[in-house]
Amino acid sequence: MCGIYGYFDRSGRELQPSLVQRMDASLQHRGPDDTGTWRAAGVAVGNRRLSIIDLAGGHQPFVSDDGRIALVQNGEIFNHVELRQELQRQGVRFASDHSDTEVLLRLYEREGLEFLPRLNGMFAIAIVDLRDPGGPRLHLVRDRIGIKPLYLHDDGTRLVFGSEIKALLPALPGVPRLDLAALQYYLSYNYVPPPWTLFDGVRHVEPGCALSVDARGSRLRRWWNLAEQQPREWQFGAWQQQLLDLLDDAVRLRLRADVPFGAFLSGGVDSSTVVALMARHVGEPVRSYCIGFDDPRFDESPYAREAALRFGTRHRERLVQPDLLDDWPQALWHCDQPHGDASFLPTLEVARLAAQEVKVVLTGDGGDELFAGYDKYASLLADPALAGLGEPAFARLLVERFGLFGEDARGQLLQPWLRHRLREVDSVRDVAEPWLRQVGHFDRVNQMLFLDMMLLLPGNNLVKPDRMGMAMSLEARTPLLDYRVMELAFRSPGTTKLADGDKKHWFKRAVQPLIGEQLAQRRKQMFTVPVGEWFRGQRKAWLHDLLFADDALAARLFDRTFVRQLFDRHVDGSANHTRELRALAALEVWARRIAVQVDDLPA
């Protein structure tokens, strides 16, 4: 686990060394153990290292013996042992004892980018190749589902990249500008869907893609596509055995580390399954971590204790303060962008707890998106309005039903000048529809899940464990998102996931022998905090001052009367506008921490 950064200048110009140093320093929290930079004419790659595997021999960048290839990565290659052994049988010699990053270098030397489908891991990789007579080439590669982040800015001459947006900012001219189209998407989805960001000209490298850059331009190619899966009919017994075998191996691989590791344990079906499988493969009690709240509506600690007792873990939990909003500026700074999701705050707290003892945790992230764990899936499937809808209409129904501000509400929220400026920006047509058009062969359940896999996971739910973990220099590993599990999930019809409103229908049955009926069939409890109640009580004045200050970003973008109506109706209890106010507050907290310039303001 690390942070990577660098640049590629098509005219061969050097980026000032002081700016490269600032890029490096901005990622120190991601890699406090080591740092390294490699430079050639007009190009550089760098790494901040959190040492997890091969502590002594894993220094990055790794450079080929002839000095013409340099490689850095953020993440882990979990099957690096098997890949190394295969290369050694072919006569490849290694300089390190067991670094997974050197395995990447040796694979690239022999196969170019064709080796990517062989990787089982979470990774963002940057490779500089000087062997082409036409000039240097940079490859930027991202893992299949976007567990590891990777951002870039390309002005046509110089491309800069980094694991976090803050690593790019030193190399950008002036104050970064707010991307108004991305703002529209944020207001629609409650997060900024990839590949957009709120910074004009800054984009994600898309998951499952490789971007190749040279003096002539850039070429993006997709090297893995979940949409290619073909659902088939299954007998439950065969499906259960394949799932349990894959999960067991996914957990086994993710226990490879040269440092202490543990797990986030909520007592839910996903984290309990991961911890149960961990207990099979380690010779000492698993270290598990959980946070609790005074309010039983949000407190999962009793279930976590039940799971810890069942699996014999060395369990630690902490009762956190009832108001976590003092952590919000820190959380949003680490995220680089606002998120309306309040669960970033308790995730930061449990990461802080775990980081006192370990450097790696396994988590249950991804299970709800793979196997239909959210109430919204069941509620929508029961809606007769679904019948006969094509992909565009279905996409619009999904976004309007489960998004943040619908089209009509955005029309009231945005100031007239901004509404006019965004008149051609369509949050459904631009974002959701292109994904759904790829999966016309999926049933409705899998179409819903696929959209969340492509947008919600890399745009929000995987940002959470990565950024909140990295804020504490803690690596989070997600065995349920092993690519073999993802592919199995989307070879499975929707009826295996939802049946008569029963969420995770087959998944719960499959893991019940492993974790017990009580944990397997436990009602899902959202991992969140009561922000809406804080807004009515101890944080009412704070929220008012935040949203209605004369110099607030909201004052420049949003209709004050409409925002006032949201605030008043929520505070007096006549409506629940928690989600809307939370997202507007997150935007304002973010804007106060990270300066952005708003273009096209009215005179």
CATH number at 129 reads 3.60.20.10
In a domain, 399, yes or no: no
d(C-alpha 240, C-alpha 235), whole Å: 9
Question: Do residues 161 and 292 both lie within one domain?
Answer: no
Question: Do residues 60 and 115 both lie within one domain?
Answer: yes
DSSP helix/strand/coil, 11: coil
Here the CATH number for the domain that contains residue 314 is: 3.40.50.620
Give the residue from 36, 127, 19 showing the smallest Cα distance to 73: 127
Domain endpoint, select from 493, 520, 547? 520
Give the residue from 74, 253, 226 showing the smallest Cα distance to 148: 74
Query: 376 to each of 137, 193, 396, 399, 589, how far by Cα in Å?
Result: 45, 19, 15, 12, 29
Mean pLDDT throughout 498-525?
91
The answer to whether the CB of 123 falls within 8 A of the CB of 62 is no
According to the model, what pLDDT value does residue 385 have? 77
d(C-alpha 315, C-alpha 357), whole Å: 12
Joined tokens for residue 257? 């580390």
Question: Do residues 556 and 512 both lie within one domain?
Answer: no
Question: Do residues 281 and 305 both lie within one domain?
Answer: yes
In a domain, 392, yes or no: no
Query: 206 to each of 44, 124, 148, 408, 509, how far by Cα in Å?
Result: 22, 11, 11, 30, 34
According to the model, what pLDDT value does residue 324 have? 87
In a domain, 145, yes or no: yes
Question: Do residues 218 and 267 both lie within one domain?
Answer: no
Question: Do residues 19 and 82 both lie within one domain?
Answer: yes
According to the model, what pLDDT value does residue 501 have? 86
pTM (2 d.p.): 0.96
Is the four-CA dihedral 330, 333, 338, 343 of positive or negative sign?
negative
Q: Tell me what percent of the residues of the chain surpass a pLDDT of 90.
A: 86
Amino acid type, 165:
I
Question: Do residues 238 and 285 both lie within one domain?
Answer: yes
DSSP helix/strand/coil, 489: helix
In a domain, 428, yes or no: no
Domain count, the chain: 3
Name beta bridge partners: 432. none
In a domain, 116, yes or no: yes
Question: Do residues 273 and 367 both lie within one domain?
Answer: yes
Question: Do residues 242 and 211 both lie within one domain?
Answer: no
In a domain, 572, yes or no: yes
In a domain, 285, yes or no: yes
Question: Do residues 77 and 207 both lie within one domain?
Answer: yes
**602 pLDDT exceeds 80?**
no
According to the model, what pLDDT value does residue 603 have? 44
Domain with 586 in it: 531-593
Q: Could you read off the pLDDT of 45-102 as tens digits, one per residue? A: 999 998 888 788 889 999 999 999 999 999 999 999 999 999 999 999 999 999 999 9
Give the residue from 578, 553, 548 showing the smallest Cα distance to 563: 548
Q: Sheet containing 158-162: give its strands across.
A: 34-40, 43-49, 2-9, 158-162, 151-154, 202-204
Give the residue from 100, 107, 31, 102 showing the smallest Cα distance to 472: 31
